[in-house]
Amino acid sequence: MDKKTTARDITSQLWAMANELRGNMDASEFRNYILGFMFYRYLSENQEKYLVEQDVLDVAPTESVNEAYRQEAAGDDLDDYRQDIANALGYAIDPEYTWATIHEKVDQEAIRPSDYQDMFDLFNQNAAINPSASNDFRGVFADVNLGNTRLGSDTTSRARALNGIVKLVDQFDYDDAEGHDIIGDVYEYLIAEFAGNSGKKAGEFYTPHEVSKVLAKLVTLTAPDQGQFTVYDPTMGSGSLLLTVENQLLHGDQQGRVHFHGQELNTTTYNLARMNLMMHGVSYQNMDLKNADTLESDWPDGEVNGVDRPRSFDAVVANPPYSAKWDNNDKKLKDPRFKGYGKLAPKSKADYAFVLHSLYHLGAEGTMAIVLPHGVLFRGAAEGKIRQAIIENNYLDAVIGMPASLFYSTSIPTVVLVFKKNRTTKDVLFIDASKCFAKGKKQNKLRDEDIDLIIKTYQDRQDVDKLAHVASFEEIKENDFNLNIPRYVDTFEEEDPVDLVAVSQELGDINRDIEQSEADLLAMINDLAVTDDSKEIIASAKQLLGGKHE
């Protein structure tokens, strides 16, 4: 493979070949195999790199790293190597099951059907060696279903299909033109490709990158230049939104400055997020991810001077499931996340439950950006009460209306709400960005100029005709705390005024032209040779013209 290929090039080729390989298997199902094996290769090669760079192995010039590891770790030394590697990396892969060994067996047609199961079982076992990393690595390959009959009707045919995946994943060098490792970018692009072919299921695990960029820019505008930065996503999906925040904040520098926190209900998606972050070079020590129901299992509190305090973060970003059902039993009114707002979000619409959960964990100097359906702006009853309380507490900073059809899972237009706890004014900025997009075949796309316009308008915080309005608290109160954007941003385009005199004159000219045409037609008819038949035709024509030209 040409070293100058880009992440997009590799992704396109991988995607095309994967489509041939998966046969009749659904794209969302086949995703787990391609991405799982890519991650295993990444971990194995990352381990090799560690063994060489830290001088754990003595590798002869003509010897492969894998062969040196196999020889030195033979016998009683293997436990020592496992411990050393796990202490440093959080996981350990035995010589018999490194990616190089597995690929070698596949090439030599020496692999047994059971080798794949043994490979993942041993990885899971070794993941328990380092207790502080166990939660980050155990079960990460649980969704690679080796017994899936859609891979093949028997053990041998399934092993043959897995061999094909190994060969596919192995044939690419994941380096860009400068030799930088771009496997994380390839992984991210593949997630997007699988999302685009998963229909409504895509909304469960992927936020389009352009939308992620808007949220990431909003929450990092006032971030300090130095020091640790914590970011939390309560419905993290595949973790792409978290990574976009890091990229926006660091621009590739200060690796390790960002500490990631996330929670995800779907176990398969949770595993995807763990892989995604680590494939982008995030150390297990810099991520704290949990597989749980965010609204039922709150993020653990932190301890300050021996007293429990809510765990708060410098930035909170979220794209929760829209209008999801949740258990809003009376006990939730005593939950500190929802207490003090008078009402609970309706059972059939958890949107404000996610808002309040996220607000609870937002730090005093931080910024929160969350994507929601437009209904949260104007729905009444309990939601109206919660919305009013949030505004009266002066937490709402901006309301940004987004274009329709940006997401894989829905075509509805969405809104980005921005919150802060350290606001010094009580106004709210409204931005109508619903027309800021380029139309696509399946989805609309935010262009760079659209994103830049949204962010600049947010920063300027001024009235802009047809685009933005800074509404005072009194103005919002007069609207009964209804935040529907057209109440604040007038995007109505008036039609040009009609000149009635000119129209009347034009109609007169048209009538005169019609009369002249009719007169000319009758003159031509009168010039015809007169016969009995022609007399009858002439009489009929004159009758049709209303006798105006008798």
Reported as type and span, the H/E element at residue 364 is strand 362-373
Amino acid at residue number 80: D
Q: Report pLDDT digits (tens) over 37-51.
A: 999 999 999 999 999
Q: What is the pLDDT of residue 242?
A: 96
Q: Say yes or no to pLDDT of 251 above 70.
A: no
Q: How confident is the model at residue 196 (pLDDT cuts 50, 70, 90)?
A: confident
Contacting residues for 60 by C-beta, under 8 A, at least 6 apart: 68
pLDDT of residue 23: 78
CA distances from residue 397 to 318, 368, 423 in whole angstroms, order as listed: 16, 10, 8
pLDDT at position 520 is: 74
d(CA 491, CA 468): 10
**Cβ proximity of 102 and 66 under 8 Å:** no
In a 3-state reduction of DSSP, which class is residue 303?
strand
Flag the least confident range among 149-153, 259-263, 319-323: 149-153
> What confidence category does residue 525 fall into, taking pLDDT thresholds of 50, 70 and 90?
low
Q: Which fold has domain 200-487?
A: Rossmann fold (3.40.50)
Token digits of residue 18: 């994967």
Distance, CA of 66 to CA of 51 (rounded, Å): 10
Average pLDDT over residues 322-339: 94
Please give the residue that has the higher pLDDT: either 258 or 252.
Answer: 258
Q: 264: burial class by Cβ within 10 Å (0-12, 13-18, 19+)? A: buried
Would you say residue 205 has pLDDT above 60?
no
Please give the pLDDT value at position 260: 96
**DSSP one-letter code for 397:** E
Tell me the β-bridge partners of 262.
233, 289
Backbone angles phi, psi at 518, to 5 degrees: -65, -40
State the average pLDDT for the chain.
88
| More confidently predicted of 164 and 251 | 164
Alpha-carbon span 340 to 359, nearest angstrom:
13
The architecture that CATH gives domain 7-197 is Up-down Bundle (1.20)
Closest CA to 431 of 400, 409, 460: 400
When pLDDT is averaged across residues 333-347 and rounded to a whole number, the result is: 94
Could you tell me if 224 and 54 are in contact, meaning their C-beta atoms sit under 8 angstroms apart? no
| CA distances, 302 to each of 293, 306, 438, 536 (Å) | 19, 10, 44, 103
Of 58 and 98, the structure prediction assigns the larger pLDDT to 98
Which residue, 522, 537, 232, is CA-closest to 370?
232
Q: What is the pLDDT of residue 547?
A: 56
Per-residue pLDDT at 224: 87
When comparing pLDDT for 494 and 291, which is higher? Answer: 291
Per-residue pLDDT, 202: 47
pLDDT at 9: 87
Q: How confident is the model at residue 544, as a pLDDT? A: 61
Q: For 166-179, what is the mean pLDDT?
A: 82
pLDDT at 253 over 60: no
C-alpha to C-alpha distance for 296 and 468, rounded to whole angstroms: 37
Rounded distance, CA 191 to CA 407, Å? 14
Give 464's DSSP letter. B
Q: Is the pLDDT of residue 1 over 50?
A: no
Q: What is the predicted pLDDT for the residue at 505? A: 83
Please count the other Cβ atoms lying within 10 Å of the Cβ belonging to residue 317. 29
187 or 424: which leads in pLDDT: 424
Express as a percent the part of the chain with pLDDT over 90: 62
pLDDT tens across 423-482, in order? 999 999 999 999 998 887 778 889 999 999 999 999 999 999 999 999 999 999 999 999
pLDDT of residue 51: 95
Task: Indicate the range of 219-228, 317-326, 388-397 predicted with least confidence.
Answer: 219-228
Mean pLDDT of all residues in 275-295: 94
Averaged pLDDT, 286-298: 94
What average pLDDT does this structure show over 222-243? 92
The answer on pLDDT for 385 being more than 90 is yes
Q: Answer for the pair 50, 161: CB distance below 8 angstroms, yes or no.
A: no
pLDDT above 50 (res 403): yes
The more confidently predicted of residues 121 and 549 is 121
Supply the pLDDT for residue 406.
86
Are the beta carbons of 152 and 160 closer than 8 angstroms? yes
Q: What confidence score (pLDDT) does residue 521 get?
A: 73
Whether the predicted pLDDT of 368 surpasses 70: yes
- Read off the pTM: 0.85
Does 543 score more than 90 pLDDT? no
pLDDT at 2: 45
> What average pLDDT score do residues 245-260 get?
80
Closest by Cα among 320, 314, 238 to 280: 238
